């Protein structure tokens, strides 16, 4: 008992000491104020606000209450600034991207769980530039044209799988998304059932979601805690990290080793892995580094494509169930334009404006990442009369940007018609993709693939199926709730 009490006393002393050190490091050197601050507690500051479930709602409401689009939080000496509007996000993350382009140190996610290879988390530097450049070349808007047939085939397979077991729609959507990205990235055809690559992606991205919110784990605010022994009070995060590291490592290494083996056997189809490895071999760089760039780029494709599309499509299914009039209108457009003789393909996209509006509203209504991955300021800066110290962590509140009632009236409702005028897409209404895929140089490099995959799936589903509420034992329809699993990824 005495030893346990001593451990707790030492642990508390460590926290207090590092709070003092971090506070001194973060001292401001300007007469300008910080943005309006969310009230906090002694020592831990706004830790609870950063860790709170659906904290984007708290940040949005606090900003409105204080008539400010910027909110300041502080925890253990680290300054956080939440950006609630797209205009400010554009000013800082796009126009000043040279100093707002870095990422914070994710001790839990990167160093302990093992996600240091993910493009979205790599610190600004040569490795980030090389992986991002490789990613964009392989599946950017131009490179992606090689794989359109893969997206189309996967959407058709989804329709067949739904016919046999419609109640397992989430499983089938996940299978489709994984099939697309694993085939495009590695040339691997996943199995119809019990595929290891789907399981790995799901487990790894659950870990990502649990770790990504700012302040989710104390070790991110105080990295020295990573050196605590596992038996020490409060170090349970180390056991979690050890378990999560297994699927994360498998996501990086497993399919890449498959590619290396089958490339030597010359029996792998055209895919990003083949062209990327060939390109890296031509460059005058260390072979080990070239191999790592290729492996990190491909694994980043795998991670991004296997989960985020699933979230948007699940929101689409929910919306079609809750808003049957939207479903009817979209299906009437498909019947009128395409008829009953065939399924939609990419050549029909410009002829189906209401379907396009449904896709945009699906991206806006419940964004996959309500809070953007944080940016870190590389030097002191001033903006609109406020001072941001070097090292400030800036968080784009994507949910607030996509639920701004001045831009999207009645933002909580699913209304695709908000994007239309005179029967066509209204260019004056903000496309949600300007926010939901991130900002500046850190914008998601896989956005072209995501938008295409979501569109062809939505159009195909609307052309073939009707979505309706389940019926309970009492014979009455069951209205599903707009509930999402807690975490950074919705």
Q: What is the pLDDT of residue 26?
A: 46
The first and second tokens of residue 168, run together, are: 């397992």
Residue 266, sorted as left (phi over 0), alpha (psi -120 to 50) or beta, turns out to be left
Here the CATH number for the domain that contains residue 358 is 1.10.630.10
Residue 445: inside a domain = yes
Residue 335: inside a domain = yes
Alpha-carbon distance 31 to 155, whole Å? 57
Q: What is the pLDDT of residue 376?
A: 93
Residue 470: inside a domain = no
Q: What is the pLDDT of residue 46?
A: 86
Q: How far is CA 114 from the centre of its chain?
A: 17
Alpha-carbon distance 280 to 293, whole Å? 8
Determine phi and psi for 259, rounding to 5 degrees. -60, -45
Residue 10: inside a domain = yes
Alpha-carbon distance 360 to 312, whole Å? 10
Q: What is the pLDDT of residue 29?
A: 63
Q: What is the pLDDT of residue 377?
A: 94
Q: What is the DSSP string of 318-362?
A: HHHHH-HHHHHHHHHHHHHHT-SSS---GGGGGG-HHHHHHHHHH
Matching residue, tokens 């083949």: 274
Q: What is the mean pLDDT of each run of 10 residues along the chain (490 residues)?
A: 38 46 52 89 84 87 92 90 96 94 87 92 89 86 82 95 93 93 92 90 88 76 85 86 95 91 76 86 84 93 83 95 97 94 93 98 95 92 95 95 96 97 95 93 88 95 95 92 79
Q: Are 102 and 375 in contact (CB under 8 A)?
A: yes
The first and second tokens of residue 117, run together, are: 């290879």
Residue 297: inside a domain = yes
Q: Are 273 and 294 in contact (CB under 8 A)?
A: yes
Q: Using alpha carbons, list the distances in angstroms from residue 223 to 106, 118, 220, 463.
A: 9, 20, 6, 52
Q: What is the pLDDT of residue 13?
A: 43
Residue 474: inside a domain = no
Is the Cα dihedral 233, 235, 236, 242 positive or negative? negative
Which domain, by its residues, includes 39?
2-464
- Rounded to two decimals, the pTM is 0.89
Nearest alpha-carbon partner for 318 in 490, 476, 449, 192 = 490
Residue 425: inside a domain = yes
Q: What is the pLDDT of residue 40?
A: 86
Q: Say how many Å lie between the first and final Cα of the chain, rounded.
A: 42
Spell out a b/e string for 351-373, using b for 16 or more CB atoms within 10 Å of the CB, else e.
Answer: ebbbbbbbbbbbbbbbbbbbbbb
H or E stretch covering 73 = strand 70-75
Alpha-carbon distance 9 to 25, whole Å? 25
Residue 471: inside a domain = no
Q: What is the pLDDT of residue 93?
A: 95
As for how many domains the chain has, the answer is 1
H or E stretch covering 81 = strand 78-83
């Amino acid at each position: 008992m005495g030893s346990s009490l001593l451990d707790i006393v030492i642990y508390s002393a460590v926290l207090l000491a590092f709070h003092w050190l971090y506070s001194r490091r973060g001292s401001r050197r300007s007469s300008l104020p910080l943005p309006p601050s969310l009230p906090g507690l002694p020592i831990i500051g706004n830790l609870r606000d950063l860790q709170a479930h659906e904290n984007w709602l708290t940040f949005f409401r606090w900003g409105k209450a204080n008539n400010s689009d910027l909110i300041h939080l502080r925890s253990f000496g680290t300054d956080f600034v939440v950006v609630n509007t797209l205009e400010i996000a554009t000013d800082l993350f796009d126009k000043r991207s040279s100093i707002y382009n870095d990422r914070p140190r994710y001790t839990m996610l990167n160093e302990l769980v093992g996600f240091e290879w993910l493009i979205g988390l790599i610190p600004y530097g040569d490795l980030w530039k090389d992986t991002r450049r490789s990613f964009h070349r392989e599946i950017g808007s131009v490179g992606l044209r090689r794989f359109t047939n893969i997206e189309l085939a996967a959407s058709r397979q989804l329709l067949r799988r739904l016919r046999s077991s419609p109640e397992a729609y989430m499983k089938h959507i996940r299978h489709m998304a994984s099939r697309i990205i694993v085939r495009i990235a590695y040339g691997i055809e996943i199995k119809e059932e019990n595929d290891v690559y789907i399981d790995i992606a799901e487990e790894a991205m659950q870990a990502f979601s649990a770790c990504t919110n700012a302040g989710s784990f104390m070790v991110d605010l105080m990295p020295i805690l990573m050196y605590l022994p596992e038996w020490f009070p409060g170090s349970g995060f180390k056991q979690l990290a050890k378990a999560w590291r297994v699927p994360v490592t498998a996501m990086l290494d497993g399919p890449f080793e498959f590619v290396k083996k089958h490339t030597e056997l010359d029996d792998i189809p055209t895919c990003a892995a083949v062209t990327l490895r060939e390109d890296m071999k031509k460059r005058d760089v260390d072979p080990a580094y070239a191999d790592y760039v290729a492996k990190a780029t491909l694994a980043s494709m795998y991670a991004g494509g296997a989960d985020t599309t699933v979230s948007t499509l699940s929101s689409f299914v929910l919306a079609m169930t809750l808003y049957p009039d939207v479903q009817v209108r979209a299906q009437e457009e498909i019947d009128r334009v395409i008829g009953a003789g065939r399924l939609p393909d990419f050549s029909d996209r410009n002829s189906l404006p209401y379907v396009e509006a449904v896709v945009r509203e699906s991206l806006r209504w419940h964004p996959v990442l309500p809070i953007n991955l944080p940016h870190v300021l590389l030097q002191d800066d001033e903006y609109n009369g406020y001072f941001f110290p070097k090292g400030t962590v800036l968080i784009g509140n994507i949910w607030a940007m996509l639920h701004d009632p001045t831009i999207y009236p009645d933002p909580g409702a699913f209304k695709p018609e908000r994007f239309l005028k005179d029967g066509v897409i209204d260019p004056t209404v903000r496309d949600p993709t300007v926010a939901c895929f991130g900002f500046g140089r850190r914008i998601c490099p896989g956005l072209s693939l995501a938008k295409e995959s979501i569109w062809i799936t939505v159009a195909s589903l609307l052309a073939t199926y009707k979505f309706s509420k389940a019926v309970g034992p009492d014979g009455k329809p069951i209205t599903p709730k707009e509930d999402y699993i807690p975490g950074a990824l919705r």
